Structure 1
Amino acid sequence: MVSMMKPNHTPRRRRFPWCIALLPFVLLLAIASFVVESRSGWADLYRAAGISLDGPDAALLAQSPTTVTVLDIGQGDAVLLGQDGEYCLIDTGPSDAKDDLVRDLQLAGIAKLDYLVLTHPHADHTGGAKEVLRNFSVGQLLIPPWDAEASGETADWPRGLFELAEQQGTAVTVAEDGTVYSLGSGTLTILQGGESELYNTDDSSTHVNNASLCTMFEAGSFRYLSTGDAEAQAEQRLADRYGKTLHATLFKAGHHGSSTSSTDALLQVVQPQAAAISCGLNNDYGHPHARALQRLTAAGADIYRTDTMGTITFTYQNDTLTAAATDTLDAAA
């Protein structure tokens, strides 16, 4: 983002020419048209308003058919997948970053999301979901078969989320293992999520983490593995079920680089070329943990972190993975 009185007359509101009254609406229409027609429109508007442009670069996303953008939304997760101009957002970060998330998606030139995937009902993954539904056209909302009663966990989806999705015309789909969704010429496969047998643990938060939707995004020879906040038990299940077919070019480290995720059992079969860690600067949890970093390094992965590098956009062309970060305070590798 005066009226004048005539002598000897009853004061009355001055009538402005209709063209002046319509001027604000004309300006709004012009701005909207500019933004819609130009992928850089939002960037130009934000720049004019003096708002920081530390989000994804729309031009960079447009240049490559295959992109994975790990958004810097603090202590949480939000990852934008792009293939041939179609987009999927996996998780939406915490609620205190919802405005930044919307701004980042606008900077990326996003008008429509084919899919919004919420891996599990923890607030650092679902906090911006309703804001995304309000500001963007979303085709499908994919969620795990979450069974709160079986897990004994009190975590839940944001209040009114599914009602809002219905109002916005977004289909809500409970994702099932093995289901494949098309994204441009690529695919997004649901590998695992919501297994009740993984709820048997003394740590109630681990119940929900192990119920995370785990997905594989594939486009040509590119493969991106995302496991939400899945911890050791769920990672072992993935490794046992899929083995070396989990090999991925890019891996998003589980649970923000927690010591209980990115285990050797999983990394031995994934063998990623690069690993992205989404976490907040100087967060209270000590993410990423030194042991997780050591395991990722030992697996041969180049490491990229949002807490020190900001938003990171990975592009894949001609069998080459390239990373571009908005902040290069510490280009870990």
Structure 2
Amino acid sequence: MIRSHCLIVAGILLVLIASSGCIATDENTRLNLTFFDVGQGDSCLLQVDGKTILVDAGPYEAGPKIAEWLKARNISYLDVVIATHPHSDHIGGMPAVLRQVKTGVFIDSGDTHTTPSYEVLLKTIEKYQIPYRVVHEGDQIDSGPGVNIRVLNPDTTVSGDLNDNSIVLEITSGSRKFLLMGDAGISVEERLLKEGTDLRADLLKVGHHGSRHSSGRRFIEAVSPEIAIISLTAGNEYGYPQKDPIRYLTDAGSRIYRTDQKGTITVTADQKGLVVNAEMIPKSAPK
């Protein structure tokens, strides 16, 4: 019932996402990508030309901190909120953000999950009457002039694996390109390689927190990122980041930035280059 209601509401927003075509880019566009230190989870904020797009919101405890960080910077509206997939380390903090920051549209892959965190998220979307959209490979997400956001995954035929059904985003601004991999694994990477997708990117948000089940050698060689961001917590029970992804990224000449070491990481990008800044936010409050 909740999902049906959201889909009906979303009908008026077809203009936001086109299944084909391109958005013109501007060589002078400047954008910020902020990768929040959310512990063992993922959250990234894209800011460009007055628009704000939040991709994931970490685990439950991260939500209030992200909302406070946004308010401290006078960000009172999110044009788009994207859940890459319904695991709690990516969506647990999202209800807190949606309650406190007005949101234009909520986007996910249409994948469902039988967990309390996912149910709370759906109820929050319904309560605040946030328009809801599903995207798949080939869809475009409107980010205004100067930036093109293309969905590379999931395929229209989704697998039974929530991680491999993650929304993968290709963000292009002029000659700059950024890949946000969610928790997509090697099978997704291999599909993209097989399809002949041009994967070269200046920045890679490394898939699945640096797990060996993502970031295969062939994929990293194809992307060859100048900067690689890994979002995770120190001493996590999974042993992330694991050796293989780190080795492949190092061999590719990538500069690796980890939220467990650097805290919240902001990358400012324009056609002149990429500038990386980090801020160690106190765990009690993201001032």
**Deviation of the 1:169 alpha carbon:** 3.2
SS of 1:210's equivalent?
coil
Distance 1:242 1:110 in 2: 38
Any conservation in 2 of the 1:144–1:194 contact (CA below 8 Å)? no
Q: Which runs of 4+ in 1 moved over 4 A?
A: 154-157, 194-197
SS of 2:247's equivalent?
helix
Name whichever structure is richer in helix by fraction: 1
Any conservation in 2 of the 1:89–1:113 contact (CA below 8 Å)? yes
**Deviation of the 1:265 alpha carbon:** 2.2
**Deviation of the 1:242 alpha carbon:** 3.8
Q: Percent identity?
A: 34
Distance 1:247 1:157 in 2: 35
Any conservation in 2 of the 1:222–1:319 contact (CA below 8 Å)? no
Asked whether 1:217 is paired with 2:217, we answer no
List per-residue Cα deviations over 1:162-196 (Å, max 9, x = no partner).
34223323211011221112213212111111665
Aligned to 2:149: 188
Aligned to 1:177: 137
SS of 1:95's equivalent?
coil
Match of 1:315 among 245, 250, 268: 268
RCO greater where, 1 or 2, for CA within 8 Å and sep 6 or more? Answer: 2
5 Å-filtered alignment, 1:89-168, equals: 89-146=54-111, 158-168=118-128
Distance 1:155 1:246, change over 3 A: farther
> Residue type matched to 1:298 in 2?
D
**Deviation of the 1:303 alpha carbon:** 0.4
> Residue type matched to 1:159 in 2?
E
Distance 1:157 1:145, change over 3 A: farther
Any conservation in 2 of the 1:198–1:233 contact (CA below 8 Å)? no
SS of 2:46's equivalent?
strand
List per-residue Cα deviations over 1:2-49 (Å, max 9, x = no partner).
xxxxxxxxxxxxxxxxxxxxxxxxxxxxxxxxxxxxxxxxxxxxxxxx
Aligned to 1:234: 188
Aligned to 1:61: none
Any conservation in 1 of the 2:35–2:231 contact (CA below 8 Å)? yes
Distance 1:144 1:80 in 2: 19
List per-residue Cα deviations over 1:95-145 (Å, max 9, x = no partner).
022221212222343111111110111000000111111011111111103
Any conservation in 2 of the 1:147–1:196 contact (CA below 8 Å)? no
**Deviation of the 1:157 alpha carbon:** 5.9
Aligned to 2:15: none
> Residue type matched to 1:128 in 2?
G
Q: Which structure has the bigger radius of gyration?
A: 1
- Cα root mean square deviation, aligned: 2.0
5 Å-filtered alignment, 1:219-298, equals: 219-243=173-197, 245-298=198-251
How many residue pairs align between the two structures? 252
List per-residue Cα deviations over 1:220-243 (Å, max 9, x = no partner).
222110110011111111222243
Q: Which runs of 5 or more structure 2 residues have no equivalent in the other structure? A: 1-28, 282-287
Q: Which runs of 5 or more structure 1 residues have no equivalent in the other structure? A: 1-63, 149-153, 200-206, 329-333
